């Protein structure tokens, strides 16, 4: 099978590509490199108009002439690669709207991929209409829009998320769902909003290549090391402010027992190295399931504070605080859980071992890739 994986977040599609190649198929990833994360791709699409001065120039062109030079540039790049982006058995899009420009441009790109190839599928692994509308309607107990409802941050902080429930995007969403063969979710935060959708094919967990993620049994000689890697662009959406409050409590109570490492906006390759020495990683608050960074950290034997809600426990038939620590939007609750681990370091070792085993059992990239192949083949 020949597969085009269009768009990338972290390494969600890259690991599927690797799985496909190991299983004897042909696959390429075509995408921007996900901002400062600098993820791996086979064919890079470049947005040249993100540096400050060029962005100013772009905005002036839009304001006075209605011309988006970034959209023009990216569409030109894609159109010029038509010969490399055509005649695939399967195209899987990573998002309904991958690029930072008006939806009518994105519809044009979708139509090209649809016309150039046989079967298009959608992967729900980030913001999209179903998940944002579900969050906006407060069907989650809490969500990435909880800080928006609590008036944290600025309107700009949530403009990207809220753009998915505008009239323009809803039109694009319906157009995409009319033409795709099906949509697949890769964690519960996207699975739950899609239940009941006619073209929903089900959930395949995040595909994680554990081979390069070597497990290291925690060695606790002196202090418990806590790592907090902040993406400032998602500071409130990820609940970093709540983690910071919890760390202040822990720092004061256990100053002689903990070491706290805080980083900001690291590229992926550096991020994954920097948390190597940590015992505990603070990932995100407003989630029901683990995202990509959390799972990679768990594979390396870290105790991760992340989404691990009761729906996740029931889905995987696991017990609370045995594989990952559910980070609820409450700094005192998080501080208490951190204190429990500081005072019971053997629990760090127990959770570490179970976290690695869980990722191998449920998220192995070859197992997950086989599930994609089954769904694609059954739905074509």
Same-domain pairing of 162 and 103: yes
Token pair listed for 47: 């947005």
- At 174, is the secondary structure helix, strand, or coil? helix
- Residue 181 included in any domain: yes
pLDDT number for residue 11: 86
**Residue 221: exposed, middle, or buried by beta-carbon count in 10 A (0-12, 13-18, 19+)?**
exposed
CATH number of domain containing 186: 3.40.50.2000
Is 80 exceeded by the pLDDT of residue 27?
Answer: yes
pLDDT number for residue 233: 82
Task: Compute the residue count for the chain.
Answer: 380
The answer to which of 32-46, 204-218, 318-332 has the lowest mean pLDDT is: 32-46
Mean pLDDT confidence for 140-166: 92
Is 80 exceeded by the pLDDT of residue 35?
Answer: no
Task: State pTM to two decimals.
Answer: 0.91
Structural domain of 238? 224-363
Is 80 exceeded by the pLDDT of residue 273?
Answer: no
CA dihedral over 130, 132, 138, 141, signed as positive or negative: positive
- Residue 89 included in any domain: yes
Q: Report the range out of 46-50, 179-183, 213-217, 227-231 with the highest average pLDDT.
A: 179-183
- Residue 213 included in any domain: no
Same-domain pairing of 18 and 123: yes
Same-domain pairing of 60 and 49: yes
Same-domain pairing of 73 and 119: yes
Same-domain pairing of 154 and 293: no
- Residue 169 included in any domain: yes
Domain count, the chain: 2
Identify the band that residue 28 occupies on the pLDDT scale cut at 50, 70 and 90. Answer: very high
- At 224, is the secondary structure helix, strand, or coil? strand
Same-domain pairing of 163 and 28: yes
Same-domain pairing of 94 and 151: yes
Same-domain pairing of 32 and 165: yes
**For 236-260, how does the pLDDT look when each residue is reduced to its tens digit (9 = 90+)?**
989 999 999 999 999 999 999 999 9
Same-domain pairing of 190 and 330: no
**Nearest C-alpha neighbor of 216 from the set 169, 275, 160, 264:** 275
Is 70 exceeded by the pLDDT of residue 34?
Answer: no
Same-domain pairing of 63 and 175: yes
């Amino acid at each position: 099978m020949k597969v085009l994986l269009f768009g990338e977040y972290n390494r969600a599609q890259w690991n599927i590509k690797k799985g496909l190649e190991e299983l004897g198929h042909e696959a390429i990833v075509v995408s921007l490199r996900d901002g400062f994360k600098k993820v791996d791709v086979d064919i890079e699409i470049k947005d040249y108009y993100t540096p400050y001065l060029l962005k100013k120039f772009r905005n002036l062109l839009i304001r006075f002439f209605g011309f988006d030079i970034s959209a023009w540039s990216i569409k030109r790049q894609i159109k010029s690669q038509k010969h490399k982006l055509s005649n695939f058995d399967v195209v899987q899009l990573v998002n309904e709207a991958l690029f930072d420009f008006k939806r009518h441009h994105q519809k044009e790109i979708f139509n090209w991929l649809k016309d150039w190839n046989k079967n298009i599928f959608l992967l729900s692994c980030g913001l999209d209409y179903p998940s944002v509308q579900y969050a906006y309607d407060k069907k989650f107990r809490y969500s990435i829009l909880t800080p928006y409802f609590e008036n944290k941050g600025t309107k700009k902080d949530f403009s990207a998320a809220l753009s998915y429930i505008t009239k323009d995007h809803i039109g694009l969403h319906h157009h995409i769902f009319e033409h795709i063969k099906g949509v697949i979710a890769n964690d519960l935060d996207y699975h739950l909003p899609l239940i009941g959708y006619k073209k929903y094919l089900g959930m395949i967990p995040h595909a994680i290549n554990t081979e390069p993620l070597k497990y290291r049994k925690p060695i606790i000689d002196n202090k418990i090391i806590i790592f907090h890697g902040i993406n400032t662009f998602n500071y409130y959406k990820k609940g970093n402010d709540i983690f910071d409050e919890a760390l202040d409590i822990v720092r004061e109570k256990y100053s002689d027992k903990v070491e706290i490492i805080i980083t900001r906006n690291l590229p992926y390759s550096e991020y994954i190295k920097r948390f190597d020495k940590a015992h505990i990683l603070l990932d995100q608050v407003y989630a029901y399931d683990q995202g990509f960074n959390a799972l990679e950290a768990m594979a390396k034997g870290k105790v991760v504070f992340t989404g691990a809600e009761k729906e996740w426990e029931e889905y995987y038939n696991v017990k609370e605080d045995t594989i990952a620590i559910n980070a609820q939007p409450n700094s005192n609750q998080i501080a208490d859980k951190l204190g429990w681990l500081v005072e019971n370091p053997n629990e760090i070792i127990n959770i570490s071992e179970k976290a690695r085993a869980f990722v191998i059992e449920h998220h192995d990239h070859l197992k997950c890739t086989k599930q994609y192949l089954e769904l694609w083949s059954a739905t074509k």
